[in-house]
Amino acid sequence: MWMKKIGLSGFWGVMGRSSSFTVVIILGLVLNAAVVCNGGITSSFVRKVEKTNDMPLDSDVFRVPPGYNAPQQVHMTQGDHEGRGVIISWVTVAEPGSDTVLYWSENSKRKNRAEGIMVTYKFYNYTSGYIHHCTLRNLEFNTKYYYEVGIGHSPRKFWFVTPPKVGPDVPYSFGLIGDLGQSYDSNRTLSHYELNPAKGQTVLFLGDLSYADNYSNHNNVRWDTWGRFVERSVAYQPWIWTAGNHEIDFAPEIKVSLHPLSLIVTGIMSPTEHQIVPHPSGTQSRGLQHTSLSCHHTQHMGKYTPQYRWLQNELPKVNRSETPWLIVLMHAPWYNSYNYHYMEGETMRVMYEPWLVQYKVDVVFAGHVHAYERSYRMSNIAYNVVNGICTPVNDLSAPVYITVGDGGNLEGLATNMTEPQPKYSAYREASFGHASFEIKNRSHAYYSWHRNEDGYAVEADSLWFFNRFWHPIDDSRSA
């Protein structure tokens, strides 16, 4: 496991095969279904135009598990910097119940116990269930574990597999989902990911989770339904979270203004902070180093802010001999050629892009724009107000920027693109889908994007990545 990832995301630090023959075939498919523009390729694939609606509250994917006080909304994330810990979270409704997690390895009959904590919160006229968080520590690498929650009432059993020990040439794969929501299209995206033979061993989530804030009074019941909806995946593999603008609960009409960092400022936690445990920023994970930065709060982006100082100190720590791959996650993209959220990330880009080039970040993943786009390796860091040099240029030290904000939420697709397609844009398409990033060794990784309308193994876009530290040749035009 060998990459370093730095997440410039909503709010939290998110750390995180194809043969060459397949790549050639995919290239042929892309060229046959695309239009070459001033920049790269604008896909000519046209998705059927239809309204995106949230699934009703009585949908089967929101079903409450049977049994008295049965745990629901079970989810897990990485719990340490090595891959030997996970955080298990769940909700009980009738009463607090037990904070205990029983867990054991596949080849062991001895059950271990871990004790967690329980919290609740109130948001306007909503009162949460009892939210439990429990950390399992000192797990063995590359081992399947079973775990039970809800001890004493209606226990439920799940399983997960720990990652292999971190090393520069250890393979590992990540799924990428952003802006998911809980619509019918969201369900198609999650199903498509689950059934994909190339799905990741861990999901890197690119922000905007439940879209509960789109409802009157930020109806937090929609956080509960979302938690039950994604349980079928996140109870079995870690999802590492990047938060977005829809995790900011700013509702002046009901005199509520909270966001996931509000606990630090006010001692009051937001729904996201209670429900989804944040992952430590700047984590080493699966041979990757990664970090997350806030995109939607100016107080977090400015010079000399805690976030600025933290990133300034974090990037030089990356040892590319141990964690060759350096990945950044953010929510709002810096390079975006859609007329949605256009240039919203510009303030942040001007502040931080020189560092990403200096430290040779391999790839930046973002969401926010409800469509798909991939860039070439470009940078725009020469401008200094006086010289007027403000055009992106080819830069082999720069990352590839990929927007995967196409999870399927109720706000629908972004379909209006800037014309002509800018030179930094390699491929763009207004479709729902998900992506995967497969680390092969210290020098190579394989990336693919899958639209929902295709078969599970079909790659609508793909690229072999060459590591910027170990193999810094031009890869962004080899799709």
Catalytic (active-site) positions = 341
Which residue from 338, 325, 334, 263 is spatially nearest to 39, judged by alpha carbons?
Answer: 338
Distance (Å, whole) CA 462 – CA 479: 6
Cβ atoms within 10 Å, residue 84: 18
Cα 32 to Cα 432: distance, rounded to the nearest angstrom: 20
Calpha distance 70→67 (Å, rounded): 5
Residues in contact with 447: Cβ distance below 8 Å, sequence separation at least 6, in sequence order: 363, 402, 435, 436, 437, 438, 462, 463, 464, 465
Listed in sequence order, the residues at least 6 apart from 45 whose beta carbon sits closer than 8 Å to its beta carbon are 33, 429, 431, 451, 453, 460
* 197 HSE (CA, 13 A, CB side): 7
DSSP designation for 314:
H
* Contact of 97 with 152, CB cutoff 8 Å: yes
104 within 8 A of 146, measured Cβ to Cβ? yes
Are the C-beta atoms of 381 and 408 separated by less than 8 Å? no
Is it true that the peptide bond before 420 is cis, omega within 30 degrees of 0?
A: yes
How far is 399 from 385, CA to CA, in rounded Å? 24
Contact 78, 66 (CB under 8 A): no
Give 376's contacts (C-beta < 8 A, 6+ positions apart): 40, 394, 400, 423, 424, 425, 426, 476, 477
SS3 per-residue string spanning 191-224: HHHHHCCCCCCEEEECCCCCCHHHCHHHCCHHHH
Cβ atoms 87, 75 nearer than 8 A:
no
CB count, 10 Å around CB of 184? Answer: 16
Q: Which residue has the tokens 């109870």?
A: 235
